[in-house]
Structure 1
């Protein structure tokens, strides 16, 4: 036997083993109907509702925003009212 014949015999012997590696399940639809559900839910959560319904009307307008931008450019920004979030020195429950 020469070397070419040995190579051909080795190739023929290896082919059935390689055929076993071919998995057809990646090309078929999954059996479980919920397969990929987490991915679909994540994608749906990122979609913005094009026609949202609000309980109350919005309290801002384009005019107020334009006035705020002009005040910012002029350097006459309105200072917000201070809000106390904690009472320092208040005692705990007795």
Structure 2
């Protein structure tokens, strides 16, 4: 019983760190809920999307994919373009 009485104030002290109300102003932290708002924005479908001209378009029905499979089967696959993303040497900080 005495150990419970000693642990109760410690538990309440730890839970006070989870408080989102500013003790000086009494208002909720302005950043409270930002992660949820961001996740909602990321998961919301754009009702008017913009597609690149050379990308798959709605209604293509797999025409680009079928052409790629045909090139693969006839051994006429497009060569991969080499892109350099870094320059300089990899010797580390100087």
Q: TM tier, shorter chain?
A: 0.3 to 0.5
- Scaled by the length of structure 2, the TM-score of the pair is 0.40
TM-score, normalised via structure 1 length:
0.40
Larger radius of gyration: 1
The structure whose residues are more often helix, as a share, is: 1
